[in-house]
Structure 1
Amino acid sequence: MKNTEEIKDYPLYVAGKPQKAQQWLEVLDKYKHNLIARVALADNKIIEKAIRAAVKAEKEMAALQPFQKQKILLHCVQRFSEMRTELIDILIAEGGKPRSAASAEVERLINTFQIAADAVTQLDDGRMIPLAVTPVASGYQGFIKQVPIGAVSLISPFNFPFNLTAHKIAPAIAAGCPFVLKPASLTPISALKIAEVLAETDLPKGAFSVLPCPREHADVLVTDERFKLLSFTGSDVVGWDMKARAGHKKVTLELGGNAAVLIEADTEISEALIDRLISGAYGHAGQVCISVQRILIHHDIYTDVKKKLLVKLKKLKAADPQLETTIIGPMIKENEAIRLKKWVDKAIKKGAKLLIGGELNGVMFEPTLLENVDKSLEIYKDEAFGPIVILEKYKTFEQGIEKINLSRFGLQAGIYTQNLNKMLYAWNHLAVGGVIINDIPTFRVDNMPYGGVKDSGLGKEGIHSAIRDMQEERVLVIKQ
């Protein structure tokens, strides 16, 4: 991928085998805008072949023993480690992700498969339950085991094309479920590189397919009843529409948000804290589901925090993602940058104060800080998914928590305080999937349960949680 003048063709993977197609999707370097690759596009016939293969592979996948699953997952760990440099270059080119962030994501890809390999031998797949809770059940014994749910459909997003794809594929293998995955059309190469490695393993024939395809062809992954689960990561509008059309299958949704961080007056406003806020707000041009979009600051320290943020932000510019020093690279496409510019301009017209930034040059959006933003505007209540942060004051801790909860989203929130009672109050009263104390809401480790409430989604990611979603309990009752 370093030589961007060389255009490479990538096959899709149907029923575990590479295959070219009649149509191709062009993939552009998101910073330089030159053509870097073409990927084969699946049509309806290829998708049908993949679904049939997945259903046919259900029994063989379910029969895989823990040591067999672990061997497959560890092979992926080894190969991804060997391919680390190539994978980083792919992520920078097709995703526009700054080099340091790309390196961190590839490391998470490796770790996610390692966690899944460990989980295969650590999960409790069966237990005994006492049934003699009434005289009628005396003499009966109950047992429960976890069994794979069956074939699953997976749809992954553009912003973490390696790691969020891994968070769907690795649990499916560990759970014993064949799968068909559609990667994001803006960043399809990453998923195809994962498929390339999976094709080297002993997965049963037909156990996996990775199919770049137009949205109209991919709709069958949502509606087809042969799939027993749909896992989608993306926008809330698209996700909830999918759920409404998914039929009887289980649905898990990770849909993003407009994450807030609250800073209490007992917090030391150190340089490290300011750096952390900036990394959580502007890293990968803010194109992160749990990117810091709102910073709520106690009125006693508001001026100090704002001043220190501005000092740092004056030195921060959107730049070439190839550079080690870059924090903010390009937005994924120009239409998204234009949409964000309109949101900023509208906020300013409605009385918001632009503290810094707001400048747009193609796909490069400068880090932007606003205050006094009208709460009815899109930039406040919706997901900006760009390098924009809104500052606001609060007086009491309870008031700050209420302000966070006004959002229709509820993925994660960050709370800075040294008071244990306030930590517990936040945990008890915040309507979010995760409360992060003394750190930004952008914090995530790949083995923790991860997912939101309200418009932020349904169900949990994280290896152990995702494996359980892809399995179901089966009860055995024995009369003695």
Structure 2
Amino acid sequence: MKMLVAGKWIDRDRKIEVLFPYDGSVVDTVPVAEEEDVERALESAVEGAQLMRNLSAYERSTILKRTADLIRQNEAKFTDTIVMEVGKTVKEARAEVVRTAELFELCSEEAKRIHGETIPFDSLKGSEHKTGYFVREPAGVVVAITPFNVPLALCAHKIGPAIAAGNAVIVKPASKTPLSTLLLGETLLEAGLPPQALSVLTGPGGGVGMKLVRDRRVRVVSFTGSVGVGEEIAKNAGLKKILMELGSNSPVIITKSADLQKAVKAVVSGGYSIAGQVCISVQRVYVQREVFSEFVELLLKAVKELKVGDPKLETTDMGPVIDEQNAQRIVEWFDEAIQAGAKLATGGRRNYTLVEPTVLLEVPGKTKIMREELFGPGVAVNSFETLQEAIDEANSTRYGLQASIFTSDLFEAFEAIRKLQFGGVLINEGTRYRADFMPYGGYKDSGIGREGMRFAIEELTELKTVVFETGR
């Protein structure tokens, strides 16, 4: 595939191979953007930002609605692309396409609701004859840097609100999974987006991405990825807005009053969907000692029933991780935990990029799986005596994206809500749950700012205050 630069499809001699994670075969190639491509995209985005600013809310909303409709019309093509570049199962890829169409529809609706407020200047002594208001205006040029694991929907979470707010966008997709983003770029142009307002540049993040981040014409950088890369972006961005979603190590607390069947279902879905390669995947589970054995028995039964294999098959529940390097790292983390004293209850091995769904029991707190983001199909299950002990353990990492508690005790639920240091706290639901319109983002090293249509639009706009002197 070619890349999209200022509304034109451009090829280059240097290529990046996109591989099918299941067997390593080449799916397609994309060009490596050169410096002149970055410059052309930036020049175009400055022009595109002015064009977008002049579009009415109705026109922006219409473009977004058409995009949603076109995605639905091309569901099979998007689905196949996601399966092949990410290694998601057909069921997971199809769900992402459906979700992406809904995302653009939600953005279409939200584009009509961008408004300001009046300001009571006359409440201030000396300003009795002043009146005014504030409005929201587009930020300008937005750079969106997206991850490999949910390449279409997470791209939509950046592009959709940016367009709704009247901005131009330059997208730098993950080098391992650029194909669905390029298809989305084609779809947006077909839907009527001004070509100057969108570029999709392919190439390495350290080169292409960092050139975009440093440029003073860019007003906002929206990034989803690792803490390390996020820190580099923060060091290089200069005076511009930075929005970051940097991952998690999501805990689930299960008290003795919980519905264990419901909790097991949430842990399995949250821990092994997309082979655990989701920032809000369930990674740590804390179970009250009285129900620990029963919960583990139910969990192991459910995990062992998962069908792991070729993601192209409708019967597959879990496919591969993104590449062999990550598969090897994930298993090394399992081994580290076992050597530190954890018990391997099931899984723990790999076959190329297929990592077995893994459950570890009573894992020491200093191990990587308990402190860092695994991004793989593994769940650590520990016991606890008191709820305060579980909350302290849940809060013990540098991350704070989403956490959950399963309980039938209202007081326990509110104690967890009050004390858990996370951007989202879910009651009787797993950490993997996300409604795309809710404010989504984390505390601590999990990021800066919030996604979710209305909240992202607020981040992607500037406030302008207007004051009238009304006295004579």
Of the three residues 29, 38, 49, the one matched with 2:29 is 38
Query: Distance in 2 between the 1:447 and 1:350 partners?
Result: 41
Query: Distance in 2 between the 1:56 and 1:426 partners?
Result: 49
Of the three residues 79, 96, 100, the one matched with 2:87 is 96
Greater Cα offset, 191-200 or 341-350: 341-350
Query: Distance in 2 between the 1:254 and 1:341 partners?
Result: 25
Query: Distance in 2 between the 1:245 and 1:41 partners?
Result: 22
Query: Distance in 2 between the 1:302 and 1:168 partners?
Result: 41
Question: Is the 1:279–1:327 Cα contact (8 Å) retained in structure 2?
Answer: no
Q: Cα gap change, 1:273/1:373 in structure 2, threshold over 3 Å: closer, same or farther?
A: closer
**Post-superposition shift, 1:366?**
0.1
Question: Is the 1:372–1:391 Cα contact (8 Å) retained in structure 2?
Answer: yes
**Post-superposition shift, 1:276?**
2.5
Of the three residues 340, 358, 362, the one matched with 1:350 is 340
Of the three residues 110, 131, 136, the one matched with 1:146 is 136
**Post-superposition shift, 1:57?**
2.1
Query: Distance in 1 between the 2:319 and 2:124 partners?
Result: 64
Query: Distance in 2 between the 1:134 and 1:29 partners?
Result: 64
**SS of the counterpart of 1:206?**
helix
- Match status 1:447 vs 2:434: no
Query: Distance in 2 between the 1:257 and 1:325 partners?
Result: 30
**Post-superposition shift, 1:21?**
2.2
Question: Is the 1:405–1:430 Cα contact (8 Å) retained in structure 2?
Answer: yes
Question: Is the 2:282–2:430 Cα contact (8 Å) retained in structure 1?
Answer: yes
Runs of 4+ in 1 over 4 A off after TM superposition: none
Which residue is 1:327 aligned to? 317
Query: Distance in 2 between the 1:285 and 1:205 partners?
Result: 36
Which residue is 2:105 aligned to? 114
Structure 2: gaps spanning 5 or more residues: none
Which letter does structure 1 place at the counterpart of 2:51? E
Give per-residue Cα distances to partners, 1:265-287, cap 9 Å, x unaligned: 111222x4422211110111100
Question: Is the 1:317–1:366 Cα contact (8 Å) retained in structure 2?
Answer: no
**SS of the counterpart of 1:450?**
coil
Which letter does structure 2 place at the counterpart of 1:93? M
- Match status 1:258 vs 2:256: no
Which residue is 2:2 aligned to? 11
Which residue is 1:314 aligned to? 304
- Match status 1:158 vs 2:148: yes
Which letter does structure 1 place at the counterpart of 2:289? H
Query: Distance in 2 between the 1:114 and 1:22 partners?
Result: 37
**Post-superposition shift, 1:317?**
4.3
Task: Give aligned pairs, total.
Answer: 469
Of the three residues 340, 347, 363, the one matched with 2:353 is 363
Which residue is 1:29 aligned to? 20
Give per-residue Cα distances to partners, 1:162-194, cap 9 Å, x unaligned: 100000110110011101110000100010000
The TM-score with structure 1 as length reference comes to: 0.96
Question: Is the 2:189–2:195 Cα contact (8 Å) retained in structure 1?
Answer: no
Question: Is the 1:434–1:451 Cα contact (8 Å) retained in structure 2?
Answer: yes
Of the three residues 386, 393, 396, the one matched with 2:383 is 393
**Post-superposition shift, 1:205?**
4.0
Which residue is 2:42 aligned to? 51
Query: Distance in 2 between the 1:209 and 1:389 partners?
Result: 39
Give per-residue Cα distances to partners, 1:44-99, cap 9 Å, x unaligned: 11011000110122222111101100111011111100000111111111110011
Question: Any residues of structure 2 matched to 1:75-474 within 5 Å, and which?
Answer: 75-123=66-114, 125-215=115-205, 216-270=207-261, 272-474=262-464
Give per-residue Cα distances to partners, 1:234-264, cap 9 Å, x unaligned: 0111112211221001100001111011111
Greater Cα offset, 77-86 or 10-19: 10-19
Structure 1: gaps spanning 5 or more residues: 1-9
Which letter does structure 2 place at the counterpart of 1:60? L
Query: Distance in 1 between the 2:182 and 2:202 partners?
Result: 9
